[in-house]
Structure 1
């Protein structure tokens, strides 16, 4: 009897497992759920600024404040809620002689623990700094600047988009390489020293306005940090709406650009430098720009719409190898499903769906389903969808929290009032 009961138990759980597996294969991967939690215990009014998260701290720089006043050039640090701590904290770092001048409409990106800033405008127009890149080191809370060593540099500009990659990097070589062994090796001498800040990586700038009254351009510039060299890459196809605000990001070595309702991508190659070779001068293209075309057979397919207000494009994951891009505008949050990571649960599910002639939603856009902090769905027409119709906001990925967490800060509301609060947005399946 005991053996029979064991067989029935095993059979029951085998059936349940089969049902769960089948359900997992047939469950759609779009749309995703976005839970929006306001941050109101910090009063920092900003618009047309930048925000960058490093190790649980959001660094707010530049922008404008109430009354269209140019903000100071101090660095404002918002310590974000973490596990077990629901409130935020705030710290202000006073400017020093090495701080960049006050500005708004600049762009920024992160390479490891350093924040790179380029461009922007003061009250007199775009700041002409001859290609200078400003770097804030979050380990030392100090500013420095990098000037181009040789070659052409991008013109001064405002409203550009930026992203960055930690590649290329020097190859890590053992310090005892090619040395005849005389004694047992000392492990302390076999490991290379950590890379010095601001000596590796690629900073990318896309678009922007170079003169007052002009439409945004589609120039694409890369700054190779190692060689201190600017290089111009082929521009993505011009958007049909010339007033659209661009956004750009990396996922692996693929560069994605969204402008208007159009999405393009470019595959790049990063050649690692060595301690003896000459440094690189930025990435090289592996192919021309490619476009993602709208999918008309899916009810969830919906391309993002950029406007002349702020936009952002951020890579996120919902776990198990599932990758997306999150596109934020003042009115909507949309996700683009990317190729799943190899040898993961997501890739196995995609293979199973293809085997039964089911689509995988790869390459499709869909607007998220909105939920408030109390886990109540926000219906269409209700307040609280997207980023709350704020314009001129800044956003950053919160890397300290696994998955799809982003921070939105500031902006202006429909009445033209500068917002002094923020939103934590968690995107999940």
Structure 2
């Protein structure tokens, strides 16, 4: 009997250990290995006019299943595009929806020419309360636009509204081009009149019409994204490492706390051949995306090789690619349990939050880890016509679509220095 009992105990220990090992393996598997499917939605030809959609240095903003393209420079001698709004319906799962295109002239709610935004490039743009918000930028000559007005395009009425700050109560951000704008209307960075990169961060309060300066960023970069009231920056240090900087904007949401309540945090990650991670780049795409179930990522894609990696003293610089065509995801903290009415179990439970808690218990948290996105080939390669992939490019317009699992991009400059005029949907899974 003693031998049988001992054998039973040994068997139980083996089964228990195996179960723990299986559980540890299951939760330790990477959760950020995504796949991407590309589909070209439209192309435009260079017609030589300022209304051409063959352009770069423009903005693309998604509002209610439509992409709104504004500003930039066209392929015709790098001319400044006009101040008309281009609206493109995005493909949806509803067969009744048909893709269409609209060219909307600049009209003011006050019916005065001076109450519409001037043509510009390298401006900041974002969706704000169901409208397209435009701020700052550069004019035809490349000079910075001095007007500190926030221009709001109403997608329902197709007219512009001018939102001006109460200058007696606050100081607006200095003129800049190439800055980034995001939710809660926060603007970051860009370059000043002397082409010097800026590191300042500003928030506009709609109720009081005042600007507040938040803590300056610890780095200057064109790679900025906004997610869940957090500003994320990715800056390339060198060919062997880069840094993720993030600022919790919710910590400085009240006037009583002030901007000092917020503080930047930094995570350094390797980018060498022995460790997975994206190479330093600028003027590409950085977006907050989600594949559902509470799982969140930063999608870091395309762009130009960082100028620090193309130093003239580097003998191998001429053999290096000038742009990137790869895509990477950085896993962010998963969403909390939703504190709102919902009709789906996945929205209420947030399985990713539960899985991450289990992973953390096993010491296998995937937070702030990189994974390269795998590109899926089209289903029918033989019957496919046209390009299969946008190819390397920078200075394009882009935004996330609907629930965050797909991205739309338009135009840009390719590796040959030529301006593009095509639109793409990137579906992530």
TM tier relative to shorter chain: 0.7 to 0.9
2:286 aligned partner: 313
Correspondence 1:109 to 2:109: no
Relative to structure 1, the CA distance from residue 36 to residue 269 in structure 2 (aligned partners, 3 Å threshold; closer, same or farther) is same
**Any conservation in 2 of the 1:262–1:303 contact (CA below 8 Å)?**
no
Q: Which has the larger helix fraction?
A: 2
| Cα gap change, 1:70 to 1:311, in 2 (>3 Å) | same
State the distance in 1 between where 2:22 and 2:150 align: 52
2:181 equivalent in structure 1: 162
* 3-state SS in 2 of match to 1:410: strand
Of 68, 86, 92, which residue of structure 2 is paired with 1:82?
A: 92
The structure 2 residue matched to 1:70, chosen from 80, 94, 98, is 80
SS of structure 1 residue aligned to 2:290:
strand
Question: Which residue of the partner structure matches residue 368 of structure 2?
Answer: 363
The residue number in structure 1 matching 2:55 is: 46
Question: Partners in 1 of 2:270 and 2:223 — Cα distance?
Answer: 21
SS of aligned partner of 2:418: coil
CA contact 1:413–1:419 (8 Å) conserved in 2: yes
- Corresponding residue for 1:210? 192
Could you say what secondary structure the match of 1:411 adopts?
Answer: strand
Could you say which residue in structure 1 is the equivalent of 2:243?
262
Displacement after TM superposition at 1:263 (Å): 1.2
Task: Give the CA deviation at 1:304.
Answer: 5.2
Give the deviation of 1:409 after TM superposition: 0.4
Unaligned segments of structure 1, at least 5 residues: 1-17, 166-202, 240-244, 274-279, 377-382
1:290 counterpart = 2:265: yes
Task: Give the superposition deviation at 1:393.
Answer: 0.5
Distance across 1 between alignment mates of 2:278 and 2:232: 14
Q: What is the Cα deviation at residue 423 of structure 1?
A: 1.1
Mapping of residues 25-424 of structure 1, within 5 Å: 25-41=27-43, 44-67=53-76, 68-85=78-95, 88-96=99-107, 97=113, 98-150=115-167, 151-165=170-184, 203-212=185-194, 214-239=195-220, 245-260=221-236, 261-269=242-250, 284=259, 286-294=261-269, 301-303=276-278, 305-307=280-282, 310-330=283-303, 331=324, 332-343=326-337, 344-357=350-363, 359-374=364-379, 387-399=390-402, 402-424=403-425
| Cα 1:109–1:304 shift into 2, 3 Å | farther
CA distance in 1, matches of 2:124, 2:267: 25
Matched residues in 1 for 2:222 and 2:272: separation?
A: 27
The change in CA–CA distance for 1:282 and 1:144 in structure 2 (over 3 A counts) is farther
Is the CA contact 1:159–1:208 (under 8 Å) kept in the aligned structure 2?
A: yes
Task: Give the C-alpha shift of residue 133 in structure 1.
Answer: 1.1
Deviation at 1:222, TM superposition (A): 1.5
Structure 2 unpaired stretches of 5+: 1-19, 46-52, 108-112, 237-241, 304-323, 338-349, 382-386
| Aligned-pair CA distance for 1:418 | 1.7
SS at match of 1:293: strand
Q: Who is 1:170 aligned against?
A: none
| Distance in 1, Cα, partners of 2:164 & 2:256 | 14
Q: How far did residue 253 of structure 1 move?
A: 2.6
Matched residue, 1:14: none
Match of 2:266, SS?
Answer: strand
Residue 403 of structure 1 deviates from its aligned partner by 3.9
User: 1:285 & 1:414 partners in 2: Cα distance?
Assistant: 42
CA distance in 1, matches of 2:401, 2:59: 14
Farther-moved stretch of structure 1 (131-140 vs 120-129): 120-129
3-state SS of the aligned residue for 1:238? coil
How far 1:425 sits from its partner (Å)?
Answer: 0.7
| Partner SS state of residue 354, structure 2 | helix
Distance 1:348 1:281, change over 3 A: closer
Equivalents in 2 of 1:360, 1:269: separation in Å?
24
Q: Deviations over 1:250-305 (max 9, x none)?
A: 222322122333210112337889xxxxxx69974534211012169997641452
**What CA deviation, in whole Å up to 9, does each residue of 1:355-404 have, x standing for no partner?**
334x222111222112233388xxxxxx966x4112210101112xx342
Residue 205 of structure 1: SS of its match in structure 2? strand
Q: Is the 8 A contact 1:393 1:412 kept in 2?
A: yes
d(CA) in 2 for partners of 1:384, 1:390? 15
**What secondary structure, in the 3-state scheme, does the structure 1 residue paired with 2:204 have?**
strand
Question: How many residue pairs align between the two structures?
Answer: 351
Q: What is the CA-CA distance between 1:77 and the residue it aligns to?
A: 0.4
